[in-house]
Amino acid sequence: MDSPRVTVVIVTWNGRELLERFLPSVLATDYPDLEVVVADNASTDGTVEWLAAHHPGVVVARHEENLLFAEGNNRAVPQATGDVLVFLNNDVEVPPDWLRPLVAALAERPDVAAVQPKLLQLDRQSFEYAGAAGGFLDRYGFPFTRGRLFEHLEADRGQYDAPRDVTWATGAALAVRRDAFEAAGGFDPTFEMHMEEIDLCWRLWRSGWRVRCEPTSEAYHLGGASLPRGSARKTYYNYRNGLVMLAKNLPQVEARRVLRARRAFDTVAAARLVTQGRAEEARAIRRGWRDARERIAAVTPPPPGEPQPPLYTRSIVIDHFARGRDTFASLPAEAFTPPGSATARPR
């Protein structure tokens, strides 16, 4: 796997302006065997025509409708020829040397299925919301990253430059072994968008793989191109999918216990949004719970004893909002379970 063929898959919907801005950096990647596939979700802004005229070497997977992120990527994979797939958002800029460290991280560790770069904002100074230096979940399923706790984004001072196992790698720039991706069933299409990469990474961990962040690789993310933070639709997807993800990946008894606690946390979150004048987002949380319950009823829970990712055994909500911990480094290291442990929570 010294220089395997790599396919970068970029989903887009009416994102021609973003492709014009960011695709050239991807095509300038310094790597000997690179293929780029643009998965077009039935754009009406001339995306396909522009690609044919300006970048005829790019493979275009044309979808007949807007399949959103999860299924838009899944349906493009059959047209990819790479042994390594890199799912890249259409608003990500990359330097020429970004890809080699990701491929090396897979080549050097046969048990690693997926890896992400260090994800920074376009200014190259601060971590980006969607993935920073690798993602984690707390004991109640709330996601956070090395470099971002809720809305607090840290400046990148090299404090998270050590490669390490993570619970999940960002879908904004996710390199994954093709065989592992396909064996896992790809992204869950019912998620549509948001949280699908966390669910995928959790399933990879449960199958015996590892997931890592390799910060010697960097990528720069505009962010919010599909749905901006503060969008009620984004809130809905995050809550609905996050709840279903817990039911899919935790043993049933544990999932029920976690979901009961989440109900209390999410009720407080909705009330807080109302006091902030964000009633539409509060209603989105309630809709997310309503629709998640229907989907959870159809979930087949996993058996106990499967390998689990490194999880944070405390509440990140309490640690951040009540205890004032606003950096990843301020979290107690002993509160993270060992990678591959067979339990998601401490005894």
Q: pLDDT value at position 226?
A: 66
* pLDDT reported for residue 227: 66
Q: What is the CA radius of gyration of the chain?
A: 19
**Tokens 């020429």 sit on residue:** 96
* Cα separation, 281 vs 192, whole angstroms: 19
Give pLDDT, residue 342: 63
Q: For 153-175, what is each residue's pLDDT tens digit?
A: 999 999 999 999 999 999 999 99
Q: Mean of the pLDDT values across residues 105-119?
A: 98
- What pLDDT, on a 0 to 100 scale, did the predictor assign at position 339? 85
* Residue 1 pLDDT class (50, 70, 90 cuts): low
- In this predicted structure, what is the pLDDT of residue 225? 63
pLDDT in tens, 52-82: 999 999 999 999 999 999 999 999 999 999 9
Better-scored residue on pLDDT, 155 or 2: 155
pLDDT band, very low/low/confident/very high, at 96 (cuts 50, 70, 90): very high
Say whether pLDDT at 347 is over 50. no
By the 8 A CB rule, do 124 and 94 touch?
Answer: no
Quick one: average pLDDT of 297-326? 95
Q: What is the DSSP string of 224-268?
A: -SSS-TT-HHHHHHHHHHHHHHHHHHS-HHHHHHHHHHHHHHHHH
Q: Which two tokens stand for residue 102?
A: 């990701």
